[in-house]
Structure 1
């Protein structure tokens, strides 16, 4: 199981310079990957191209770019350009976002999201593989080929939690990017579904990228209280709430990986046993102890 880091977005002046320093440090320390979310701050793809260019030896991923505001052909062109700038080290993670965002903020319909993702991948995947996209669906159309460099070596991963989305992650994409999903849910729900979908489609074994909050500490109670505060919103969004319920977790604090080095090591090992191929640590609590421990796992 590869070990990566979730890059928190820098704030204030010099954001891209600070982001580059974080990527350089992660690469120098030997982490296999570094991932960036795409919410309402920096555009993740642009930021990774600028800050990660010329930093060798580390995969850079988006976790995740929302699909609805971007036509898949436009996203393919942007992602291929970024992949070329990064010398083929981009992992493109995409996702539906949430109904409250897509309808309430952007004004798009969130009707039949799995249909949307299937149609989206039907355009995006051929293009990033260097093929022509000729597709007419219910919500998307595309008749286009791209000459953008960087095609053919960029994994496309989708944020998939529900059964139909997990099927798409194995059948049409290269795997899934998870958040707020505990080890039991990964083992019993995610891994079997996405692996079987890939097998049935004759595709390689999928990547399962699992991102969770991590804090190495002796004060477990305080760390879980902090996690409950910092990550509270994820207990309210329906897709994450469904995974927490499946795990038997009252809230995000219950799936955060918290404890001393031995305890945290055992929790991370349980993810590997559940089928996770890439564990991405979202460190919280502000202690260098967590980072130092994660380096011992590399």
Structure 2
């Protein structure tokens, strides 16, 4: 299982984000992913980081599809892939209704249907193919001239059965969050893998994002995560995923404790079939440094 980081979105400045990628590279990790929030553009930062920091893959986790036309997004992704020497992964997803409707003014009606249409267009564009699609939510006609860019991997944020099947059929894998190892083994991996096989596609990447902290005070870390991110458990897609796992809140998916506890929690994801763990470091500066050191040691173990 590959090990990477989700560059801490609490890092406020552009240089801070780039330093986060440098920290991951120095630790010998495989990847550094950037979240798309209401701040810096994740694709641009990934391209800049990949161009400046050698030896580490970069990507987005995730860029919402509704606000960006598929042709425009494909052009950004191909540019980033070329700028990083082929080390860029594009992670996309529909986002959440309060943001898509309340901030961007798009209808969030039938997001799984929208994603199927969107990836039907985006995939060929990333492969250098022309498209002519006029659908219910997506219209795209044209091609992109990006010689030598190559084709970045395309990951879809997917948790429910319909979205997982779309990911298996039309993407190179999935990005999941708030998901424990048992759900990976029993729900995520079988559904997306079967869909990929039925579509004649290679075995998919299964990238798990988890909050991780090496700490002597896990109760404090869980309390802080709950205060900061507990609201995520009320978003419908996340609520459904937590319910499937019998979990009350997102803090129940956090990996926190001493080195042995955290290492055991990470290894469980590998045993469940995850191909990559993207760790979001949390806690004090000292706890984050200890967590990064442990991730580095686990990566060296292979």
- Shorter-chain TM band: over 0.9
Give the corresponding residue for 2:296: 295
- What stretches of structure 2 of length at least 5 have no aligned partner? none
Distance 2:148 2:257 in 1: 42
In the alignment, is the contact (CA less than 8 A) between 2:5 and 2:33 conserved in 1?
A: yes
- TM-score, normalised on structure 1? 0.96
- TM-score, normalised on structure 2? 0.94
Give the corresponding residue for 2:175: 177
List per-residue Cα deviations over 1:163-210 (Å, max 9, x = no partner). Answer: 110001110000101111111111111101000000001100000000
SS class of match (1:226): helix
Give the corresponding residue for 1:199: 197
In the alignment, is the contact (CA less than 8 A) between 1:81 and 1:149 conserved in 2?
A: no
In the alignment, is the contact (CA less than 8 A) between 2:50 and 2:56 conserved in 1?
A: no
RMSD (Å), alpha carbons: 1.3
* Cα 1:150/1:66, change in 2 over 3 Å: farther
Cα deviation for residue 151 of structure 1 reads 4.3
List per-residue Cα deviations over 1:235-280 (Å, max 9, x = no partner). Answer: 1111111111111211111110111111111111111111100001
In the alignment, is the contact (CA less than 8 A) between 2:33 and 2:46 conserved in 1?
A: no
List per-residue Cα deviations over 1:211-244 (Å, max 9, x = no partner). Answer: 0101112222222212211221211111111111
* Cα 1:112/1:268, change in 2 over 3 Å: same
* Cα 1:103/1:271, change in 2 over 3 Å: same
In the alignment, is the contact (CA less than 8 A) between 1:208 and 1:276 conserved in 2?
A: yes
Give the corresponding residue for 2:8: 8
Distance 2:222 2:22 in 1: 30
In the alignment, is the contact (CA less than 8 A) between 2:211 and 2:279 conserved in 1?
A: yes
Count of residue correspondences:
296
Picking from 99, 102, 115, the partner of 1:101 is 99
- What stretches of structure 1 of length at least 5 have no aligned partner? none
Cα deviation for residue 29 of structure 1 reads 1.6
Give the corresponding residue for 2:77: 79
